[in-house]
Every structure is written in C-alpha cells, then in structure tokens.
Amino acid sequence: MFTQVLRWRNRLTAFLFDTAMIPVAWLGAYWIFFNLRRIPADIIQPAVLWILPFIFLQASMFWLFGLYRGVWRFASIPDLTRITKAVIMGVISILLIFYLARFPFALPRVVPVLYSLLLIGSLAGARVTFRWLKDYRHFFRDCQRVLIVGAGYAGEGLVRDLLRHDNHLYQPVILVDDNPFKLGRDIHGVRIAGKFDDIPDLVKYYDIDLILIAIPSASSAEMRHVVTICEQTKIVFRTLPGISDLAKGRVDIKLLRDVSLEDLLGRDQVQLDWFAIGKDLQNKTIVVSGGGGSIGSELCRQIAPLGPKQLIIIDNSEYNLYCIDMELKKKFPNLIFQSLLLDVTDRVGVHHVFDTHRPDTVFHAAAYKHVPLLEQQGRVAIHNNVLGTNVLANAAVEYHVNKFVLISTDKAVNPANLMGATKRAAEIICQNLQKHAITNFITVRFGNVLDSAGSVVPLFRKQIQAGGPLTVTHPEITRYFMSIPEASQLIVQAGLFGQGGEIFVLDMGEPIKISYLAEQMIKLAGKKLGHDIDIIYTGLRPGEKLYEELFYGHEELHPTIHNKVLLANASNVDKNLLVNILERMEKAYNHGDEHVLCELLSQLVPEYKNNFNHSTETKLYSVTATS
C-alpha cells in the first residue's frame, strides 16, 4: 500500500511539473518571437485567455502517451520519443481547435514551433537533469574511486550499474583496455585512459581506491597477467564471474567477487557437443567406478541430466558414496540410479553388478592416487589400480559392454613413482583387451585437477588456516592443472568419439609452478607472503618429478575433432606375457609378497625404475599408430 501511494505521489509530482511547463513554454514562445522584448497587449491578452484549454489538451496528451509509466531515474531515448509525440499531438490538437473555432486573434505561425521546442526541451531536460543528479550525486559523497579493467560489454555494463546503483558507494573514474582502437574513448562519460600495463601509474595519478576486473572471457594466462599487474598497486581488486555465468543475467555490481584460484589456473570455457553426448548416453545404463571421488562424482553430475536409463555408482568409501547419493537425489529427483558400496577388486561383486544391470558404458575412475602414501604401500596400490582395473575391464568384455573409458594420469608417462606405474599398467591392460574383444576401450590421460581430494590445493588451504607455513617440495616444481568440471566434461566428450584403442590426452595448457600456486593462495586469503605466512621448501619426495609429461616420446599426438582432446599413439603388448604377469601378481598379492609385486610391475612397465632389483627385462612394446 505504501509503495502504491509513493508511486502515485511521484507520478503526480511529475505531472504537475510537466503541466506547469506548458504555460511557461507557451508564453516563452511569444517572448522569443518578439526578440525577448515586451509583448504587445493585444497579443498577450488572447494568448493568456486561451492558455487553460491549451493546458488541458496538452496534459491529456501526456497521459495518453504514457509519460508517467516510466521512471525519471532511468529516463532514456524511449522517454524522449514519448515526450515528442505527446507535444506534437498536443500542438496539432491546439491548431485544429484554433482554426475550427475561428478565434478572432492572430497566431504567429512560428509560435507553435517555438512552443514545441521549448516544451520538449524543458520536459526532457528536467528528466535528464534528474537522472544526472541521481547518477552523479555520489561525486559529492565519501565514495571509492574505481578503475575498471576491460572496456567491453562487461565493462560497459559495470560502469552503467555503478552510476545507477542506489547506494552510490563507488565512482567509476577510468577504464583500461588493451585494444588500441578503444583508447581515448568514453563509456558513459568515463574515459578509457590506458592499457593494462599502465594500471600502476594510473592508480597513482587518479588516486584510485579499488580495481574491478571486467573481462569474463579472459583466459587464465590473461587473468594471471592482469592480477600480477593489479598486485603491484597494493590496493584491493575484484572480478566479475566467467562469461558462462554472465550469460544467465545482466552485468551487476552484486556479481563482483574476489579473484579465485580457478580464475588464475582454470582455462577457457569448454565447448562440448552436448547434443551428441546426450544422444550417446541417453537411455543407456552407465557405470561409474569411484563415483564418490573428485572426478567420479563430477562425472555423475555431468551424466545425470543427459537422461541415462540408469546410473550405477560404485565406490568403496561409504562416506563419499553417501555424499554423491544425497546430492543426486536432491538435484535430480527423476534420475534412476543406484549407489553400490563395492570394491572394484571384488570379482564376484563386480560380476554380479554387470550381470544384473548389463551396462552399456563404464567410466573407470576408481584408483588410489596419493603418490607419497602409495610409495610405501605397493601391495594395496597394485591390487587396486592394476588388478582392480583388470577385474572391471574383463567383466566389461564378458558382459559385452559397448565402451569402457579408463581415466588415467600424466604420472603414467615415464613413471617415477609407484602410482604412475600402476596407472600405466592399467592403460596396458585396456590396450591389450581392445585387440581381443568387442568392447571399445578408451583411455583418457590428463594432469592434476584443482581442489581434488588429497591434492595440493586443499593441503595449502589447511596450512593457511593453521597460520602456515606452506610446504613446497622444490622451487622449480611444476604441474598441469585443470578444473574438475572441465576434466569430467572432456572425459565424456572423448568417450563419445572414441572408437576403441585410443589414448586421448587432454590439452592441459601451460604448466604452473607450485610455488606460484602457493603465493597466489596466500594472497587470495588476504595474507602477506613472508609476513603472515611463509613458504618453506622441503625437497623432492620419493617418486616425485620436477615436471610431469602427458605423453611418451614415441606417442606422437594427433588432433581430434575437439581442440582440447589430442590422440596419442598406442603400444602393442604381448598378450601372453601380460596374462602371465597378472596371474603372478594375483598370487603375490594373496601371499603378501610386496617385493615380487613391485618386480612384476617393473616388468610390465619397464620404464618404471623402483627400488627393487630385477634381473629380467622384457621388451613388451611395439609402437602402432591409432587412427
């Protein structure tokens, strides 16, 4: 009720103002006609006499053309159009009445023209002035002076929103953009004053208090460059979300947030053929092993909305399985799925699941992956990652699964640690089965994923919360990084166009120094490196390399239909030797002989050099290009 009263009060005020401008414009037209001198009495008297009918007619046109449906605060071109139409129709009505009524006094022909111009100018000018005062009243307040990075669509929208924002706590002072054609131009009266590299100097010159980054389409490399420059200014900076988020709504100051790790280490938005992926997985029974883990759970989230016939989630962690089960029930109430507490090494349990549900596609994400932890526990690592993959892959063959997608790792390339060697062995198993089965085995290999369980990001986060220090093994150690959603989406995409036998390598972009990652996490947490939190270097751990590789030297990469998925050459494996080693591994595991297990792993993956001596080295590979 109060809002309605307030709205009508505002409309009435606007109407009274516009009505008051009618006699002002009418008499002003006469005054101008007589060169701003005294108007003769025989002219002014009839003009004043008939002013009331003119006011009535003109005011009626104001209401008829909807001058009071808009808000002065947001007056724009459509409002000017309505004013012009209302005034012109008012003048035409006045002229018709004047000539039809045959008034005895003369009406100079130029007066209606002057009247129209004066009335349009006064009404439009009042609205523009009101909007200007609303937009710029914060100039006279204690507000933060803002530099906006990016003069594109997002930058323009941000300037507009800052100028119109009710609280007016921010004053957009300048913009910067690396496009040379934009330099020197204005956006809503705010000058594009320089390029990104000029930010430190511009901050000092214009006394800037806050930097807002409005380049949602920037790659991680571009964002890192901008953030590095902004950090030099020692003032606060914020950013807008990515372009995919902005596509859901208009640019708004409320969307501004702190720069996140994903902004710096994430990459360009993945473009997928969701129609084809959905067609491939729709009405299919899908099994995701390790479905409660970082990658496995995200695979479930990506598959769930695509309309599978049934989603079977396998995991040996009760808590992880419970979490993804509850999430899917809430987000996808119509999804038919089962969460099964099962270890992939349980041959009886795996065969029961495959026999019961007859899956069409399997995404194998179940694996132990923590490098230092597994170095000292070869028996369980080999049992889960190698023998577990063998159990699941052979079940897929026996029950005629159409596609089996193995999620592998860059650590499988020239492995320097036990975990990498076990994942390479898993690749070998799938490559071997491909040649003797109708199931299409597809391997997808990529690097680290941001914020996955047990990775460096949550470790650093805990160390920051504890007050530090952050532990980095070596100043020069680098790793490839990819976001969990991006990795999962590309896995699904690779599974779509894989025909069997391929090793797909995801384009991981440029490697990132772990020391840079640690420094950025400290800064993003609002701490100062060396003052609040330190970084200490502890030395490389057993099995740890300074840098990771995504493919072997003999695995020449070939492009695919997706620019972020590359195809590597596969290696032939001696089937009899592979079967023999796996059988001996099974026996060694049952006898608890870790020494023999690791020797057998080294035979299966000759490039893996471990601490166990073995006298027999067998050449297993001959390179074959996979098309």
Domain boundary assignment for the chain: 2-136, 141-259, 274-604
pLDDT (0 to 100) of residue 615? 35
Q: For residues 435 and 412, what is the distance between their CA atoms, to the nearest angstrom?
A: 21
In a 10 Å sphere around its CB, with 0-12 CB exposed, 13-18 middle and 19+ buried, how is residue 4 labelled?
A: exposed
Q: Where are the alpha helices (DSSP H) in 447-513?
A: 456-465, 484-497
- Amino acid identity at 475: P
Q: Which two tokens stand for residue 594?
A: 């870790």
Q: Which two tokens stand for residue 259?
A: 């720069």
pLDDT (0 to 100) of residue 75? 54
Contact 578, 621 (CB under 8 A): no
pLDDT (0 to 100) of residue 133? 64
Q: In the beta sheet, which residues pair with residue 174?
A: 147, 191
Q: Which two tokens stand for residue 41?
A: 């009495």
Check 411, 423, 545, 564 and give the catalytic one: 411
SS3 612: coil
Contact 257, 241 (CB under 8 A): yes
> What is the topology classification, in CATH, of domain 141-259?
Rossmann fold (3.40.50)
What's the pTM? 0.62
DSSP-assigned states of every residue in 91-114:
HHHHHHHHHHHT-SS---THHHHH
pLDDT (0 to 100) of residue 140? 45
DSSP state of 515: H
In a 10 Å sphere around its CB, with 0-12 CB exposed, 13-18 middle and 19+ buried, how is residue 272 labelled?
A: middle
Q: For residues 606 and 105, what is the distance between their CA atoms, to the nearest angstrom?
A: 112
SS3 142: coil
Within 10 angstroms of residue 433's Cβ, the number of other Cβ atoms is 22
pLDDT (0 to 100) of residue 367? 93
Show the beta-strand stretches assigned E in 150-214.
170-176, 186-187, 190-194, 210-213
pLDDT (0 to 100) of residue 51? 76
Pairing relationship of beta strands 144-149 and 170-176 according to DSSP bridges: parallel
Annotated catalytic, 411? Answer: yes
Identical fold at 141-259 and 274-604? yes
H/E element, 407: strand 403-409
**Average pLDDT per 10 consecutive residues for the chain, totaling 627 residues:** 44 76 79 75 70 78 71 61 82 77 68 81 78 56 81 83 72 89 84 89 88 80 84 82 45 54 58 73 93 91 91 95 94 93 95 95 92 88 95 95 91 87 92 86 81 72 84 84 78 80 75 82 76 85 70 61 67 80 93 91 82 38 33
> What is the topology classification, in CATH, of domain 274-604?
Rossmann fold (3.40.50)
What does the H/E/C string look like for 270-318? CCCCHHHHHHHHCCCEEEEECCCCHHHHHHHHHHHHHCCCEEEEEECCH
Say how far residue 253 (Cα) sits from the centre of its chain: 17
CA angle, residues 8, 9, 15, in degrees to nearest 5: 85
State the angle between helix axes of 2-33 and 41-49 in degrees (0 to 180), rounded to the nearest 10.
160
